[in-house]
Amino acid sequence: MRITDVRVAEAPIGSGFSNAVIDFSSMTVSVVAVETDRVVDGERVVGYGFNSNGRYAQTGILTGRLLPRLRACLPERLVDAGTGLLDPAAANAVMRTNEKPGGHGDRAVAVGILDMALWDAAAKAAGQPLHRLLRSRYGLPTPEDDSVWVYAAGGYYYPDGTVGSLREEIRRYLELGYRDVKIKIGGASLAEDVERVEAVLDLLPDGCRLAVDANGRFDLPTALAYAEALSAYDLNWYEEPLDPLDYLGHAVLAEAYPGSLATGENLFAVPEVRNLARHAGLRADRDVLQMDPSLSYGVPEYAAMLSCLDGAGWPPTRCVPHGGHLYNLAVAAAFGLGGCESYPRVFEPFGGFADDAPVAGGRVRPSDRPGVGIEGKADLHRLVRELFD
Catalytic residue among 104, 124, 250, 322: 322
CB–CB of 262/280 below 8 Å? no
Q: What is the DSSP string of 216-272?
A: T---HHHHHHHHHHHTTS--S-EE--S-TT-HHHHHHHHHH--S-EEE-TT--SHHH
- Does the footprint of Mg ion cover residue 213 (CB under 5 A)? yes
Rank residues 92 and 263 by Cβ distance to Mg ion and give the closer one: 263
Rounded least distance, CB 322 to Mg ion, Å: 6
* Peptide bond between residue 349 and the one before it cis (omega within 30 degrees of 0): yes
**Stretch near Mg ion under the rule CB under 5 A, chosen from 192-200, 206-214, 242-250, 306-314:** 206-214
Rounded least distance, CB 192 to Mg ion, Å: 19
- Does the footprint of Mg ion cover residue 341 (CB under 5 A)? no
Closest Cα partner for 342 from 330, 354, 355, 325? Answer: 325
Rank residues 180 and 213 by Cβ distance to Mg ion and give the closer one: 213
Q: Where are the alpha helices (DSSP H) in 312-367?
A: 326-335
CA distance 58 to 28: 9
- Does the footprint of Mg ion cover residue 193 (CB under 5 A)? no
Catalytic residue among 184, 250, 325, 377: 184
Helix, strand counts (H, E) of the chain: 13, 11
Q: Is 184 a catalytic residue?
A: yes
**Stretch near Mg ion under the rule CB under 5 A, chosen from 65-73, 94-102, 211-219, 378-386:** 211-219
**Stretch near Mg ion under the rule CB under 5 A, chosen from 75-83, 160-168, 208-216, 354-362:** 208-216
Count the residues of the shown chain that bind Mg ion, applying the rule CB under 5 A. 1
DSSP 8-state symbol, 365: P
CA 203 to centroid of chain Cα atoms: 28
Rounded least distance, CB 54 to Mg ion, Å: 8
Rank residues 138 and 158 by Cβ distance to Mg ion and give the closer one: 158
Rank residues 213 and 301 by Cβ distance to Mg ion and give the closer one: 213
Element (H, E) at 2: none
Coil/strand/helix, residue 313: coil
Coil/strand/helix, residue 3: strand
Rank residues 32 and 183 by Cβ distance to Mg ion and give the closer one: 183
The residue number whose beta carbon is nearest to Mg ion equals: 213
Q: Is 131 a catalytic residue?
A: no
Which residues are part of the catalytic machinery?
A: 184, 322
Site residues (vs Mg ion, CB under 5 A): 213
